[in-house]
Amino acid sequence: MSENIQPQVRIRPAKEEDLEEVCNIERKSFPTSWPKSSFKYLLIQESNIFLVALKEGETVAYAIATVENNFSFNRIFERKGHLLKLAVDEMMRGQGIGSFLLRSLIEKLKGKGIDRIKLETRVQNYKARRFYKQHGFMGRELVKSYYPDGEDAVLMEKEID
User: Mean pLDDT, to the nearest integer, of 67-95?
Assistant: 83
What is the set of domains in the chain, with CATH numbers? Answer: 2-118 (3.40.630.30)
Average pLDDT of the residues of the chain:
90
Residue 140's DSSP bridge partners are none
pLDDT in tens, 85-94: 999 999 999 9
Position 156 confidence tier, pLDDT thresholds 50, 70, 90: very high
What pLDDT, on a 0 to 100 scale, did the predictor assign at position 78?
73
User: Mean pLDDT, to the nearest integer, of 153-160?
Assistant: 94
Please give the span between the terminal C-alpha atoms of the chain, in angstroms, as a whole number: 21
More confident residue, 1 or 80: 80
Alpha-carbon distance of 153 to 126, in angstroms, equals 11
User: Mean pLDDT, to the nearest integer, of 70-99?
Assistant: 85
pLDDT in tens, 105-126: 999 999 988 989 999 999 999 9
SS3 6: coil
Position 2 confidence tier, pLDDT thresholds 50, 70, 90: very low
Which of 17-21, 69-73, 97-101 bottoms out in mean pLDDT, i.e. has the lowest? 69-73
Task: Read off the amino acid at residue 139.
Answer: G
